[in-house]
Structure 1
Amino acid sequence: MGRKLGRPSVQGIRFRLGLAMAVALLPILMLAAVQTEAGFRRQAEQQRIDLQLAADRSAAEAKVSIDSAVVLLQALAPEGVGFYCEPRLTALVDRLDGIAALSRYSATGEPVCASRSAAVVSSAQTREQAWYQRLKRGEEVAMEWAAGEPGALIVGVRSERPLGAFQGAIAAVLPLTALQPDILDPALPLGSQAALLDASGRILTATEPAAFVLDDPRAIATWAANAQRGDTALFEARDARGRRQVYAGAPLSGRDVFVLLSAPAPGLLSWARLNPFGTLLLPLAAWLATFAAVMLLSERIVVRWLAYLERVAAIYARGRFSVRPVQAEHAPAEIRVLARTLGSLGETITRRDRALLEALDEKDALMREIHHRVKNNLQIISSLLSMQQRAVNDPAARAALGDTRQRIGALALIYRILYQSEPIREADSGTFLRELVGQLVAGAAVRGPLVTTTVEADPLVIDPDKLAPLALWLVEAVSNAQKHAFAERGGDLQVRFRVLGETSVLEVQDDGPGVADPASAGVGRTLMIAFAKQLRGEAELVPGPDGGCIARLTFATPQAQGPARIHQVAAFRVSGTRP
């Protein structure tokens, strides 16, 4: 046994936690499962029994009121009409709480006499009512929902001559409030509601109508049809608010009017209300005690070591890989293995970081050397073109060679910016544009009149692939301004570069005479359109607000740096500080 307990598998976290939780939680799980199942079944069955008994009791109480009215009508039926018929019926209505009106009718349906509270109806209306027709066909007692009085029940008794011929009827109007079941009965389940309905399933009155508006509108009508055949079994349905309800009912008198009770269907935890201490508080206390024991064991065995390793991992995340988790040597076997793995990971990352940094430094040095040599080669080409330009006498050829030199000078400037910048693979477009404009204007200043320049540029870190067409477009725009706007007169040149979220705009504005024919397309304008397409943008020449011409390039902002860089540029434009 000692050798078995000394094995790493037995000393591991899974074994200790599994054993502790299995021993501690098994009695609670068994007790909770047994009590939940037994309590739920008892409550559900008892609720159904209570609901059906309450429906039978409510029907019996209402039936007593109806039977009392029937006995009264049978006692009044043999009496003649006489002079005192109306006062007598009125006096009876005033003394009896459960009757709203009394009326006597002849064999032809003619109202003979009635209490003063009775509604006035014609003989034709009386003959059309179902309760009167049933009495005329030979039934002794008939009941019907009062169509003219939406809160009353008509109870009629047949009156016969000595030989059994139909002599007429006497009817009583019973308010449904007197027949409404008492939902305050303590034997009813909590949340019970009551309603009265006729044989067609129509709700006559209800304590809460929403409880009897079901998602299946035919459910109550189907139950009423079955109840007419003597089947008053309980059923379940969802009401208008989506709550599950249990419904039980019973006939009041005959099979014309029924009482229907509803109660919330028992949920999974509703049994706990029956015996909160035995079914809820005791298991909860046992669970809390078990939880505290498991948490204590987990803290001593697992959590504190995991927290220690988490702190070591957080130190690694900050870039300090020299720390080693030496304190974990006293931890369980799995934690010790994890600590050793974490320490090995730190050593491996340290070695790889050192190798990567050395490789990156070497690569950056090589890239800077390449950029420097490319810049030197471009300058050599520019020098050769300058020599050729001086040897050429044709003005057009000299101008073409000069334009080519400016384009090559712009490309050389790109590579100079790259090998001089700290991130060797990117360049700041704002700094580059200022230097390029200065270089172009300075080159032309020695051969012509003075041109003043103003450069406003938002900073945008951009890769060389996008910077090259941008620089070449600017060279063509500035060259056009020097040739057509500043020739032999000088002037003011304004360069504006704005980053507007997903789009950027580069403008070159002069104060010259403007564009004579905006639709004409020379070599310079053709090149500007081509460079704009490389940037997924468009170029245009528009008149300036105060004269002159504006060359505008609108293109999609390069997304190589991600959206965060664009937000930094926007912040720069608001605050005036560099991101």
Structure 2
Amino acid sequence: MTLSLFRTVRGRLLALMVAIVLPIACLTAAAAVATYRTVFEAIQTAQTRTADDFAVRTRVWYRGALRSLVASATAIRAMPPPTDTCDRIAERTIAAVSGYEALLLRVSGRPDCLGGLDGSIAHSELSEIASQLAARPPIKLWGGTEFAKARYDQVTIGGRSYLAIYTPFDEGDALLLTKPDPLDDVFDLGSGDAGMMAALVRRGGEVVVARGGAQADASWLPKAETVPAQTAHWTAPSRAGPGRIYGARMVVEPDLYVVVSFDGTAEQAAKTQFYILLLAPLLTLTLLGLVYMKAIDQHCVRWLRGIEATARARSASTSARVALSDEMPRDIRSVAEAFNAMVDEQEVRQSKLRLALDDNRFLVRELHHRVKNSLQVVQSYIGLTKRDHQGEARMALSDAECRVHVLSAAYRFTLADGEMQPVRIDLFLDDVVAMISSLILARTQRLESRIETEAALPIDRIIPLGFLIVDVVTRALRAAPGISIDLAVTKVGENLIDIAITTDRDAPRIAPPRLFAGLLMQIEAVEISPPQGQSLGVWQLGHGIQGETTQPSPSAGVIATPTLSPRKAPVGPT
């Protein structure tokens, strides 16, 4: 993980924590899943072994009953007649074993030997049952260890259910009837799962013996019968509806098998354990993450935000300092102290700079004041000198006096309040027009102005604007006696004005001086209409545009010789 991708301290620390915690969480989840699978497989194995256990018990009981039947039949067959002696021996044999009810021995050439404890069981019924079992296929050998052919089944006589063990031999066959009670003891569930049920079931779903539920209640058996080939384990809906877990084991092929059912308590406990093993570490890691985030905010981000807030507050309050605390970490405290020291040094530098700027403003103000006074002196001197000359010399002195007046008026307006301020265009141009009217305008000529803006320009733009007006107007006045000139300044946009100079007749064309283009560049004006007909030109300029301020720089008013600049290429009048 590249921590540089995160832009904040909190993000990088959290990313580092995730990089540490995520592998631990994955290992924890993998361990929980492995544990769950192991436990679940152990539960399934235990359930299958439970079915195997009941099947083995049933087989052992049936084998014991078969052994008793074979031994009794062999002993009775070895005894000579008469028949009544055989019957008494068979009866005593039956009575000796709890649960045995009747014994029938049929030997060819000899009368049938019958012994029973229940007189309601007739000889004919036993013979019929023996004949039916003889017609059915014998059980398959259990691993090749069975010592006699046999057939196990369930029969009903007089409304009562009995277990039948039948075995044939060379001279005849033998049949043993027992009550289900001895086999019922085989299915003792002990102290196992309270939701476990077990039963010996015949093919077709008839219950022979059951434990964990009433004999007549078979609702817990699977809705769809599944006869195992050997063993089976599955989950299916019961006859009552809810799903249950089943394990089955074949006891006597092809008819008798053991079914064990579980209510899923063990599986649910395993799932609960899995969730605990999975969620407990994850919740612990989540809690650790929350505590980690809180610690980051409390011991790191909080102090950094304080430093940031102080830095932002410096724009509104120069006395803002980072509040130091003993709870600060040492490295962050060092940063805060360094920040405060930097602020102190900056304030000292700013104080010195303010003093220097104040001195500079005072000197500049004094310089401009002296320039204004000097210009007035020069203007007065030119006016006095002009009295001694006539003709072209007088006109040249008048032009010079106009230009000096432009400079003097600009400084007068900009220093009107004692500080350098932008000059309103309307006031300045009205003064310039009045000055031209008094110095150059002949009696037969007329000069009027219509200024519809109160915009202001800094002194370094207002002076070349005055020069431009003086140049265009004086050239037209000299070229055409009796001409009338109109100066119009109109607002055409939020920060745009148009300056148009027109005459009442077509004025002769006089080439502008080479400095005219430089004046346009200093004004930052664009010629939108060249001189033609009665128009001496239309220029458009912006005020309040980017780069201007309401307070000019200390060096404002120092007029350089106009030079061409690659920024704009205005076109002067032709």
TM-score (norm 1): 0.42
TM-score (norm 2): 0.43
